[in-house]
Amino acid sequence: MNDESAAPGAPTPTGIDTSVSHVARIWNYWLGGRDNYPVDRQVGDEILRILPEVADLARASRAFLVRAVTHLARDAGARQFLDIGTGLPTANNTHEIAQAVAPESRIVYVDNDPLVLVHANALLTGTAEGATDYVDADLRDPAAILEKAADTLDMSRPVVLLLMGIVEFVTDDAEAQAVVEHLTGALPSGSHVVFYDGTAVIHPERSAEVAAAWNSTGNAPLVLRSPERMAGFFTGLELLEPGLVPLNRWRPGPVEVGADRDVDAYCAVARVP
């Protein structure tokens, strides 16, 4: 919560360390949210100083989420969504996008940030016909995620798994591959995976500097993988056109001024055969 708008003397929610920046709160800051602290804005501004294009990336990631979820709900008939690493609620959350197309959609959000848990009630506001739920869990424990998600989702029917800018925080390649394979291996035929992570392809030196700055100050280290390395996460899956591409290149709508500039993050949507 932004201390500039909080009531004087308002207590900090239990478990939240306001002296260490957190990726969910920095992302919230970049997207114009109010759920962040001075340390988050300080680190966020330092990253923007190094790589101003990060602001474009934040907006492009949300636009990709809207396009991908809308397509899957409207054109692929998806009605179940498992969103891991959802972060703080802003505009166009997964349940809002899906339920706008199909009110009966069921969504489970997964995160392990105490501040996200504080705001879980905001995430849980969905349609009467559908369902929204929140699971407090870590990506590194996929078995626990799947077990808890099954309380809301029918895991014998197709599910959309969303891994939006989260796998990069599992820095060991073998562990990241194992986690993704565990999750995708549990999905029935007809399910989909929506994925993106940061890269250092377009601005290699400055992106590497940003990663180093984050890793020296943030709550969790990250790694910027190459698109070639990311492609391994889709082994055995069917990539939808146009494949693994920069965020803004995945089935863009009418191009706005400046929206056609590639950002340093790659994304894909894949189907489980």
Q: What is the pLDDT of residue 8?
A: 32
pLDDT winner (highest mean) among 33-37, 44-48, 137-141, 213-217: 137-141
Burial code (b: 16+ CB inside 10 Å, e: under 16) for 57-92 equals bbbbbbbbbbbbbbbbbeebebbbbbbbbbbbbbee
Instruction: Determine which of 43-57, 145-159, 224-238, 253-267 has the lowest per-residue pLDDT on average.
Output: 253-267
Mean of the per-residue pLDDT values of the chain: 88
Signed CA dihedral, 127, 14, 23, 7: sign only: positive
Q: What is the pLDDT of residue 232?
A: 97
pTM for the whole thing? Answer: 0.87
Cα–Cα distance, 60 to 51 (Å, whole number): 15
Cα–Cα distance, 269 to 116 (Å, whole number): 26
Q: Which CA distances in Å does 266 have to 6, 47, 247, 251, 270?
A: 36, 19, 5, 13, 13
Strand pairing report for 245-246 and 265-271:
antiparallel
Percent of the chain with pLDDT over 90: 59
Q: What is the pLDDT of residue 10?
A: 39
Cα–Cα distance, 150 to 108 (Å, whole number): 9
The amino acid occupying position 70 is T
The amino acid occupying position 71 is H
Q: What is the pLDDT of residue 26?
A: 84
pLDDT, tens digit, 9 for 90 and up, residues 113-164: 777 877 777 767 888 999 999 999 999 999 999 999 999 999 999 999 999 9
The confidence band for 18, taking pLDDT boundaries of 50, 70 and 90, is confident
Residue 144: φ, ψ to 5°:
-65, -40
